[in-house]
Amino acid sequence: MYKKKKRSWVKHLDFILLDMLAAEIALFVGVFVKFEGAIIFVSRFDHYPLYEDMAMLLPFIDLAGVLFTETYTGILRRTKYQEAISTIGHCLVNILGILLYMQAMQTTFFYSRYALAVAGVAMVIISYIFRCGWKRVIRKRMLQDVNKTSLIVVAESTTVDACLEDLAHSPYYEFKVNGVAVVDKDMTGQEIQGIPVVASADTLFEYLRTNVVDEVFLDGNTRASEETLAGRLVEQGLTVHVSLIHTDNLMPNRIMETYGHYVVLTTSMHIANNRQAFCKRLGDILGSIIGLVFVAIAFIIFAPIIKYQSKGPVFFSQTRIGKNGRKFKFYKFRTMYMDAEERKKELMEQNEISGNMFKMENDPRIIPIGKFMRKYSIDELPQFWNVLKGDMAIVGTRPPLEDEYENYALHHKARLSIKPGLTGMWQVSGRSDITDFEDVVALDTQYISNWSLMLDLKILIKTVAVVLGGKGSK
């Protein structure tokens, strides 16, 4: 699943909130300086409600200025001098908004000019400090490539230089070019402009299967079979950016975007808008905070029993495979004996699922209390920590083990095109009755292709029913 690039004002929501905070602090400073702290003692300050009303209005004045100006355009590329000019301009718009409000409400006479003047100066200084400080944090994270998507460029040898010149060297893009595939000759192992050539036309799909790749950029000057190639890549769960080609055969989920100076048509299994992505992540954060309360309660109840029945840690951690092949630490309450992983090899012949998963009824590796905990999914509760960290979502696809992932066919990777989840389509579709991994993949890709906030809500409701009934988890 692919999230659309943010619009300008949404993209800089962090700076908007910082400027709002700076304006509020500046107003407090102005009033505090003028009245020598009387603001703290409401009974000694007759006009306090006027400034309180202004404080409540300030965020809306600030936001109105943002919507009608371009104060954040190119903010990360500005010098300190340019940022100072931009900050002054932004604060002047805020002050103008305050004056217009005072005039409209006919309350100009009741406000202290001195307090507002001090507030205006403080607003410039505080906003400038906040902006410059936060830009340093962002630039540092960008240089470390934190949270950037992994992009592979596919091009011909005659056009690859021009393509990489535009896409590969700006630290401000939301993606990082980690490799290039040259399709008209085998240049694997070489470097072009410092970017490694990781594949040829013959080895491209194998590279994508075995490496962390989020998106693929197809240069529009490559061969005519590009439409077919784009379609195959999308089927594997990858997001594809196609530059200047006919798109009749592409999937219907597509949007026009700009990557560098290229106008591309982006297609993916599903494209979420910014509102949907924000609501999903907000729900994950709130849900995980509530879930961690239940983790604490479960720990108090079950930790002594786990320790009594099997010596060892209460929590079990394991490396799992997340979105597009990323590895992360996965947490559960331990429900098996300490030698469970070693004994798994002996039990593989009794695996009840054909394919790249392991499932066994009456698994002898499970401790007595573990059967109860698994029946009601209590062992899964610590994964709320993974959700809060951002490794997982509450609703998604279940993350595979490393050895399972290594045996994936290319089309299996489609189920990893979103964050893994605590629950999902497979969990609420009678997972104990599903014995073919291909059916699991089909359910997961169906979920991704048809994702919506309402579908997540339906799955959550079904999950509650499944957990309370103790169904589908043996």
User: Residue 405 to residues 160, 162, 394, 431: CA-CA distances in angstroms?
Assistant: 32, 35, 21, 19
Mean pLDDT per 10-residue interval, the chain, length 474 residues: 58 86 91 67 54 86 78 81 91 89 82 88 94 86 73 89 84 84 90 92 90 88 67 87 66 74 79 82 94 95 92 91 93 86 70 64 83 89 95 94 88 91 85 74 90 90 83 52
Q: What is the pLDDT of residue 278?
A: 85
Burial of 227 (0-12, 13-18, 19+ CB in 10 A): middle
Please compute Rg for the chain using Cα positions.
28
Give CA torsion, residues 348, 351, 357, 363, to 10 deg: -90
User: What's residue 126's pLDDT?
Assistant: 95
pLDDT of residue 41: 44
| Record: fold of 149-268 | Rossmann fold (3.40.50)
Euclidean distance between the first and the last CA atom of the chain, given in angstroms as a whole number: 30
On whether the CB atoms of residues 228 and 249 are closer than 8 A, the answer is: yes
pLDDT tens digits along 339-380: 777 777 667 666 656 666 666 667 778 889 988 998 888 999
Q: Could you tell me whether strands 262-267 and 271-272 are parallel, antiparallel, or unpaired per DSSP bridges?
A: unpaired
pLDDT score recorded for residue 359: 66
What are the domain boundaries of the chain? 2-143, 149-268, 274-469
Contact by Cβ (8 Å): 160, 187? no
375-428 pLDDT tens trace: 888 999 999 999 999 999 999 999 999 988 988 988 899 999 999 999 998 888
For residue 301, the model assigns a pLDDT of 95
